[in-house]
Structure 1
Amino acid sequence: MNGPRRADPLGVTPASYRAFRAALLALAAAVLALSSMTALLSVRMARRVVLPARRRADTKIVGVDVTAQTITLSRTPDTELPGRYGLFTAGSADYVKVGSVLSSDAHTVTRKLLTHIPADARLAPDAAFSGWYYDHPEQLHLPFRAELVGAPVGPCPAWIFPADGGDDTWVIQIHGRGTTRAECLRAVPVFQARGISSMVVSYRNDGQAPRSRSGSYALGATEWRDVDAAIGLARRRGARRILLMGWSMGGAIALQLALQSAHRDLIQGVVLESPVVDWRIVLAFQAKLNRVPQPVAEMAIGALGAEWASHVTGAGAPIPFDRLDVVARAGELRHPILLLHSDDDGFVPSDASHELLAARPDLVEMQVFDVARHTKLWNYDQDRWTAVITSWLGRHGFGTAPAAPASRVDG
């Protein structure tokens, strides 16, 4: 005969135990779901970093006045900037140039059109604001020729602008992530004025050069090899001194060349416009800007650097963040460097540029801009930008003194 059930000395009844067990299982499920969501978001962020993507619209065309030749855009930190810019569009034109801000309100900005828009033109609302300004080499009205560079990944298209009566100094122009070599055209006249020939290059996975096996960016860790082949071509064509100019991720590529190129004996100096000097700083900034939780960002960066995650992130191989951190490697630098960076960049923070200056004040000179945003320093203040580069070239004995200041080129 069963006696009365003895009470649990801790006072836990079967019902409360079942409730506790259910709560514990629910908590475990929630933790698992949160971990899975964090992992999923981390992979998504990692893939966005390394996989080339189509240009994304960042403004709206609100209206075009074909009589006054003005265009009204939705207001953003970029579209309200003073200066001359480009606008990627769709419809009757795929690219138009815009000039001064004529008026603005809380939501829109009206700018002068520098590309004529006919009365029957139709432009789609979605557009992308650009610092390129020139989108074809012919717009510079300078002699040039097209070349193919025999790079490890295959033939990479390039433009060569031979300097008229110049010496044996060449500058290799390297564009940034998600853009093409047209981004660099703004700088050609500045070097041309000092008798320095320009080679404007492409590299793997940029949409013009061949695709690598993975089809993904290595953030400069492999792309530099294609540009190194371009230096070799310049050498065969008579270059005896090489300057590098890198824009954004092109800055990361230029720095890897300065550290690893087979032609380091030719490299004499580096000019960096809004450069990536340390990718981890850039990715952390981008995560915060896009309100990505810090654990997600940290997991994404960790995945990009891990061998096991390469097939998931699409990177094809681990991103060597330590090798790409040039602040940490500043002691290895041997060439004078001119840094041009805006503290209001908005995309690649200037922190690492300031740190590189602090680490190597013997080699690095930095010109700090404000208001101007990412790779738009030329657009915002062309006169200062030109004067800074021209002065730096002169002080280091690159090229010949121009007969007159480099003039504006309108297209």
Structure 2
Amino acid sequence: MPRTPGSARLSRNEQLPRSVWALLGAGAGLAAASAVAASSSALAAHFARKIVTPERVKAEDQEILAVQGSGTERRVILKSSPDTIVDGEYSLFFAGGTGHVRLGPLEDYTPGDGTVTRRVLAEYSGDLSQAVRGKWSGVVFSSPADLGCAYEEIEFPTELGPAPAWFVPGDAGEHPSTWAIMVHGRGATRSETLRSLIPARRLGLTSLIISYRNDGDAPATADGRYGLGMTEWQDVEDAIAYALAHGAQDVVLFGWSMGGAISLAAADRSSLRQYIRALVLDAPVVDWVDVLAHQAQVNRIPKGIGRFGQFLLAHRWGRRITGLAAPLDFRAMDWVTRAVELRTPTLILHSADDDFVPFGPSALLAGRNPEMVTLETFRKARHTKEWNVDPERWEVAIASWLAQTLAPRPGPGGPMPSSVGTSAGAQGRD
């Protein structure tokens, strides 16, 4: 029976050597593997860029169901979430961040309906009655005036240009020559640190609440990227220089989240580090590798891809992908490994359930260097909301620890050097 053209081709194909079929199969496998590799590399690149790229537009993912009443009786009904069901005072930002209201403690929570009711304590800006979505925040004050503080809008010089700051004079207390310098975290602004004013004023400290490069207020760098503390500490050094030029003899750095990493870097690398008497750190990043691994897990990014994202941030050839002007030195920012090198008295306030910057490294740092590090553990505060959950305990813990730390020392005067010497990351500013 004659063969059709099609059956002839099939017959010839059936007669192809097995080695050819193996090569064809390998080629298909390689193509699939290449596609997977390209996809993984793209995800790692996206993860790396997201870590160091400032977010100018904040997601408003909190649903506002209703606004009732007016004046002191005004209340807002919100869709319940892991954040809104935690008691304490918080803020709601809306209308692209132009609206800001302060909300009181939890008044009603109905799990069945999935709703939360809170009193409106203050309306700083915007029209809440027109808002349908907002951003939940632990930032409860919009300026020092909300705390009854007299203050000035000033600028301090940096290598990139003048950076805005709030200057809040202290009173004639026991520490008239000690200034508090407040350093906010990643994606935040100066207002995040205003809660620190309460214990600082209790001790009579003059406060400088600063901005720093790429935060949207201070001048930006050419690359426009966060250095995760590796570059921002230089602006803290400039703030210290400003304080010293205006009457300070020493300073206390208050660092929040990434501001903790920045403060630690300043105490490590600054040529003025001998003037840093103490660090007060709220939910600080003390090991970026741990934080990035945690964020990869939270965002369901495979471990290998997360590690490759870290690799891109830490190596020179990754700069074209991340946009960084220089690679990041994660070893220098690993204060768990470098625990014994920290020689600045440090108070850490951190919630055990922090869902953004894990608590574990803070506990390890305190355990490995109990001489210098004191840890105050909070619960249910999530990230940087320790004050919101228990303001009295938070304020007393800081004020009492600082009072003891700043107490006059016996012997010759002058600030005690607090640098970490010639450690892995210690070096002066270029």
- Fold match (TM-score > 0.5): yes
Q: Does 1:280 align with 2:283?
A: no
Distance 2:243 2:370 in 1: 30
**What letter is aligned with 2:321?**
V
**What do residues 236-256 of structure 1 show as CA deviations (whole Å, max 9, x unaligned)?**
111112111100000000001
- Mapped contact 2:91–2:139 kept (Cα < 8 A): yes
Where does the alignment leave 5 or more consecutive residues of structure 2 unmatched? 1-13, 409-430
Summarize the Cα distance change of 1:47–1:398 in structure 2 as closer, same or farther, 3 Å threshold.
Answer: farther
Distance 2:97 2:130 in 1: 6
Q: Does 1:179 align with 2:188?
A: yes
| Aligned positions of 1:311-350 closer than 5 A | 311-350=320-359
Q: Does 1:195 align with 2:197?
A: no
Distance 2:299 2:227 in 1: 22
Distance 2:375 2:267 in 1: 18
State the shift of 1:61 in Å. Answer: 1.1
Q: Does 1:157 align with 2:157?
A: no
Aligned to 2:394: 385
Match of 2:48 among 46, 49, 71: 46
Q: Does 1:96 align with 2:105?
A: no
Secondary structure of the residue that 1:253 maps to in structure 2? Answer: helix
| Aligned positions of 1:191-230 closer than 5 A | 191-230=200-239
Distance 1:346 1:384 in 2: 21
Summarize the Cα distance change of 1:195–1:398 in structure 2 as closer, same or farther, 3 Å threshold.
Answer: farther
| Aligned positions of 1:5-404 closer than 5 A | 14=16, 16-53=18-55, 54-66=57-69, 68-90=73-95, 94-106=99-111, 107-115=114-122, 122-166=129-173, 167-398=176-407
Q: What's the % identity of the aligned pairs?
A: 39
- Mapped contact 1:92–1:123 kept (Cα < 8 A): no
State the shift of 1:125 in Å. Answer: 2.2
**Deviates further, 168-177 or 158-167:** 158-167
State the shift of 1:93 in Å. Answer: 6.2
Summarize the Cα distance change of 1:193–1:288 in structure 2 as closer, same or farther, 3 Å threshold.
Answer: same
Q: How many residues align?
A: 387
- Mapped contact 2:277–2:406 kept (Cα < 8 A): no
State the shift of 1:65 in Å. Answer: 1.5
C-alpha RMSD of the superposition: 2.0
Distance 1:13 1:111 in 2: 78
**What letter is aligned with 1:43?**
A
Summarize the Cα distance change of 1:142–1:92 in structure 2 as closer, same or farther, 3 Å threshold.
Answer: closer
Distance 2:200 2:225 in 1: 32
**What letter is aligned with 2:262?**
I
State the shift of 1:17 in Å. Answer: 4.3
Secondary structure of the residue that 2:266 maps to in structure 1? Answer: helix
Summarize the Cα distance change of 1:116–1:301 in structure 2 as closer, same or farther, 3 Å threshold.
Answer: closer
Summarize the Cα distance change of 1:344–1:138 in structure 2 as closer, same or farther, 3 Å threshold.
Answer: same
- Mapped contact 2:172–2:204 kept (Cα < 8 A): yes
Distance 2:342 2:96 in 1: 48
Secondary structure of the residue that 1:308 maps to in structure 2? Answer: helix
Summarize the Cα distance change of 1:148–1:65 in structure 2 as closer, same or farther, 3 Å threshold.
Answer: same
TM-score (norm 1): 0.90
Distance 1:291 1:31 in 2: 21
**What letter is aligned with 2:88?**
G
**What letter is aligned with 2:143?**
H
Where does the alignment leave 5 or more consecutive residues of structure 1 unmatched? 1-11, 400-411
State the shift of 1:327 in Å. Answer: 1.9
Secondary structure of the residue that 2:229 maps to in structure 1? Answer: coil
**Deviates further, 59-68 or 227-236:** 59-68
Distance 1:364 1:372 in 2: 21
Secondary structure of the residue that 2:279 maps to in structure 1? Answer: strand
**What letter is aligned with 2:400?**
S
Distance 1:109 1:117 in 2: 21
Distance 1:34 1:214 in 2: 30
State the shift of 1:154 in Å. Answer: 1.2
**What letter is aligned with 1:98?**
L
State the shift of 1:121 in Å. Answer: 5.3
Distance 2:403 2:41 in 1: 52
